[in-house]
């Protein structure tokens, strides 16, 4: 694929964890990749790793808060100027503010809704303009097994269930423009997010991950690469008839 025809992907929350894994995988798949996160300097490490692996790869570090409409508009315009029109979008940025309902503050509710739902809405709205113009697009949204309900996560589970409804509506509205929208619902993936959960409940990380793995039918925790492989599938040309779907990537059928 030459530079003119190379597809451009934007991955949010890509400075680390699942987002970094997805960005690296889409670069390996031949896409130019915008590595977008709150801190542009933190994104540069992922960009450097991508270009170290393949000096021909094109990657760009972009600092942006996905909850801010002006920052999103500016970031997506910059990606278009510097890499090309973004026709692949992975809405991965996320936070947790876990607490039991009776202790959960309004700020914790709003922060989680804003990053996951408002962020995915703003990013999708900005990128769909390029996708519909190109007659091709791929949107992948990160949901979670927590969408099925999880103690201490009233805010997060509501946001992740919301991501599924959002995905299905994008699939219906954008399908006629060659744009698909799908969701990945990971189970337990070993990242800083799950390390933070272990710290919050006061369990040593190694014990926490072993206990999680014991509950998972395939007998291990997931990795960012497990999620990246599924994102890669959804973003392929040949996946154009797969839209509005949710794949649970959890090492088994249940959370």
Q: Which residue among 193, 229, 239, 246 contacts ligand NAP (CB under 6 A)?
A: 193
* 26 forms part of the interface with ligand NAP (CB under 6 A): no
- Interface with ligand NAP, residue 9, by CB under 6 A: no
* Burial state string for 46-68 with b = 16 or more CB within 10 A and e = fewer than 16: bbebbeeeeeebbbbbbbbbbbe
Interface residue with ligand NAP, options 13, 84, 86, 162 (CB under 6 A): 13
> For residue 216, which of 242, 194, 241, 245 has the smallest C-alpha distance?
194
Q: What is the C-alpha separation between 56 and 1, in angstroms, rounded?
A: 11
What x/- string results for residues 196 through 235 when contact with ligand NAP is judged by CB under 6 A? ----------------------------------------
Q: Is there binding between residue 67 and ligand NAP (CB under 6 A)?
A: yes
Q: Could you tell me the two tokens for 245?
A: 């779907």
Distance between CA 34 and CA 14 in Å, rounded? Answer: 9
Q: CA 18, 19, 24 angle in degrees (round to 5)?
A: 100
Catalytic residue among 156, 188, 208, 234: 156
Residue 58, helix vs strand vs coil: coil
Read off φ and ψ for residue 30, nearest 5 degrees. Answer: 105, 5
Contacts of 13 by beta carbon, 8 Å cutoff, 6+ apart: 19, 36, 37, 66, 92, 93, 94
**Contacting range for ligand NAP; rule: CB under 6 A; set: 49-57, 102-110, 121-129, 186-194:** 186-194
- Point out which span in 36-44, 129-137, 175-183, 232-240 binds ligand NAP (CB under 6 A): 36-44
The site map against ligand NAP for 137-176 (x = CB under 6 A) is: -----x-x--------------------------------
Taking the least distance from each CB to ligand NAP, the nearer of 115 and 127 is 115
Told to judge if 156 belongs to the known catalytic residues of this protein, a careful annotator would answer yes
Residues making contact with ligand NAP (CB under 6 A): 12-13, 15-19, 37-39, 65-67, 92-95, 115, 119, 142, 144, 186, 188-189, 191-194
Which are the catalytic amino acids?
Answer: 156
């Amino acid at each position: 694929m030459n530079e003119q025809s190379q597809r451009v992907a934007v991955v949010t929350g890509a400075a680390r964890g699942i987002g970094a894994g997805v960005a690296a995988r889409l670069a390996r798949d031949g896409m130019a990749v915008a590595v977008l996160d709150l801190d542009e300097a933190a994104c540069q490490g992922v960009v450097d790793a991508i270009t170290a692996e393949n000096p021909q790869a094109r990657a760009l570090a972009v600092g942006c808060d996905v909850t801010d409409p002006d920052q999103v508009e500016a970031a997506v315009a910059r990606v278009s100027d510097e890499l090309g029109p973004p026709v692949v979008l992975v809405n991965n940025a996320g936070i947790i503010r876990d607490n039991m309902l009776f202790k959960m503050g309004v700020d914790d509710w709003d922060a989680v809704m804003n990053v996951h739902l408002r962020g995915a809405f703003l990013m999708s709205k900005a990128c769909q303009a390029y996708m519909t113009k190109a007659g091709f697009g791929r949107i992948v949204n990160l949901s979670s097994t927590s969408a099925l309900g999880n103690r201490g996560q009233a805010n997060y589970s509501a946001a992740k269930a919301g991501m599924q409804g959002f995905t299905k509506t994008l699939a219906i509205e954008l399908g006629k423009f060659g744009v698909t929208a799908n969701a990945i619902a990971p189970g337990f993936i070993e990242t800083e997010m799950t390390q933070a959960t272990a710290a919050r409940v006061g369990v040593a990380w190694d014990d926490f991950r072993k206990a999680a793995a014991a509950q998972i039918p395939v007998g291990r925790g997931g990795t960012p690469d497990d999620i990246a492989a599924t994102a890669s599938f959804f973003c392929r040309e040949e996946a154009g008839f797969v839209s509005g779907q949710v794949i649970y990537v959890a090492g088994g059928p249940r959370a």
